Amino acid sequence: MQHALYVAPFAELSDPARMIDLAEAAEGGGWDGLFLWDHVHRDPGEVRDIADVWTMLAAVAVRSWRLRLGPMVTPISRRRIAPLVRQTVTLDHLSAGRLVVGLGLGVDTAGELTRFGEVVDPVARGAILDEGADLLARAWSGQHVSHRGPNFTVDGVTFSPTPLQAPRIPLWFAARDRALRPVRRAARYDGMFIIEVDVTLLQRALDEVVAVRGSLDGFDVAVRVSPFDDPALLDVPGVTWALHSYPPDAEAAWVLADAAAGPPR
């Protein structure tokens, strides 16, 4: 079992200096990863200060040497594919091959999608996610990419450099509650970050992964650890990561103290 801090670059942790302090404390405390929420807007009554996830991850990458890091999760529906390819590969090189890319549909909490004219319909966002994830993996491979789809166009481009990690940067996909379509999507790639499940629903999701892949070999399963989650989730065979979650307005001193204390073993 590997343990990661799962925090939002919001409020006090929107300060890059504090995030760097957190990364250094997590390294010293023996944590295995540091994953950041990816949002551009929240309810101002909850939190106002929000930092860019990619800039924060770059700061974490240059001030750490062992931590796995990445966005958890990025909705491709509000990203453009070419900048996303360049950002992820650059960050993979900057971190010496420690990047994990979490992908999902995104949410419209406080109008995060509607306020910026983004796609809201979940079926449409699912189609964008499927097409975009396939394109991202193809672009990372170094192959010549020619693609004209309903949501993305890449007209004969070979992206270089390619990631340090082979066969690709790990792609984890968000899943929640009873929905199995996101689980099947995750099973085609490298991992799943699943929330809002009990032990029974988690086992159901893992059975679905096995039905798609044949086994859980080489597949990461990350579960959230918070006051709202059953700690028994960590005892389910197949779970490989515990993401210790903090509220969006968490005080930096609280998270920093936990980082320095290290993960439960």
The bridge status of strand 153-157 relative to strand 145-148 is: antiparallel
pLDDT of residue 164: 98
Model pLDDT for residues 115-162, shown as the tens digit of each residue: 999 999 999 999 999 999 999 999 999 999 999 999 999 999 999 999
Q: Are 66 and 27 contacting, i.e. CB atoms less than 8 angstroms apart?
A: yes
pTM score over 0.75 = yes
Q: What are phi and psi of 137, to 5 degrees?
A: -65, -40
Q: Where are the domains of the chain?
A: 2-261
Q: CA torsion angle for 133, 135, 137, 139 (degrees, to 10)?
A: -150
Confidence of residue 265 (pLDDT cuts 50, 70, 90): confident
SS3 sequence, the chain? CEEEEEECCEHHHHCHHHHHHHHHHHHHHCCCEEEECCCCCCCCCCCCCECCHHHHHHHHHHCCCCCEEEECCEEHHHCCHHHHHHHHHHHHHHCCCCECEEEECCCCHHHCCHHHCCCCCHHHHHHHHHHHHHHHHHHHCCCCEEEECCCCEEEEECCCCCCCCCCCCCEEEEEECCCCHHHHHHHCCCEEEEECCCHHHHHHHHHHHHHHHCCCCCCEEEEEECCCCCHHHHHCCCCCEEEEECCCCCCHHHHHHHHHHCCCC
Instruction: Name which of 40, 46, 71 is nearest 58 in CA terms.
Output: 71
**Residue 106: how many other CB atoms lie within 10 Å:** 26
- Which residue is it, tokens 């295995």? 32
Q: How much is the pLDDT for 199?
A: 97
Per the DSSP assignment, residues forming a β-bridge with 195 are 176
pLDDT digits (tens, 9 = 90+) for 50-104: 999 999 999 999 999 999 999 999 999 999 999 999 999 999 999 999 999 999 9
CATH 2.40.10.220 fits 2-261, yes or no: no
Query: 224-257, pLDDT tens digit by residue?
Result: 999 999 999 999 999 999 999 999 999 999 999 9
Per-residue model confidence as pLDDT tens digits over 206-217: 999 999 999 999
